[in-house]
Structure 1
Amino acid sequence: MERLDVIDTCVKMAWHADQRQWAELAEVFADQVTLDYTSLDGGEPATLTPAQIVGGWQAVLGGYAATQHLLSHPLVVVDGDTALCTAPFQATHRKSDDTSWTLGGTYRFELARTGSGWRITAVVMTAAWNDGLR
Structure 2
Amino acid sequence: MTQRVDLATVMDRLAVDELITEYAVAVDDGDWETYRGLFGPGGRADYRSAGGIEGDAVEVAGWLARSMESFPMRQHLIVNRRIRFGSLEHDTGDTAHVQADYVNPMRFTGQDSGSTAPDFVCGGRYAFALVRTSEGWRVREVVVREKWRHSPDRQPTTP
Matched, 1:46 2:54: yes
Q: Count how many residue pairs are aligned between Structure 1 and Structure 2.
A: 130
- Residue segments in structure 2 that go unaligned for 5+ positions in a row: 1-10, 87-92, 113-117, 155-159
- Residue segments in structure 1 that go unaligned for 5+ positions in a row: none
Q: CA deviation at 1:72?
A: 0.8
Over the matched positions of the two proteins, sequence identity in percent amounts to 28
Amino acid at match of 2:82: L
Instruction: State the alpha-carbon separation in 1 of the partners of residues 38 and 121 from structure 2.
Output: 24
Secondary structure at the aligned position of 2:75 is classed as strand
Give the TM-score of the pair, scaled to structure 1: 0.87
Secondary structure at the aligned position of 1:72 is classed as strand
Instruction: State the alpha-carbon separation in 2 of the partners of residues 54 and 88 from structure 1.
Output: 21
CA RMSD of aligned residues (A): 1.8
Amino acid at match of 1:46: E
Matches within 5 A, 1:3-82: 3-41=13-51, 46-48=54-56, 50-79=57-86, 80-82=93-95
Q: CA deviation at 1:62?
A: 1.8
Instruction: Show structure 1 runs of 4+ deviating over 3 A.
Output: none
Matched, 1:111 2:124: no
Give the TM-score of the pair, scaled to structure 2: 0.74
Q: CA deviation at 1:66?
A: 1.4
Instruction: State the alpha-carbon separation in 1 of the partners of residues 40 and 120 from structure 2.
Output: 29
Asked whether the equivalents of residues 54 and 60 of structure 2 are also in contact (C-alpha less than 8 Å), the reply is no
Choose 1 or 2 for highest CA Rg.
2
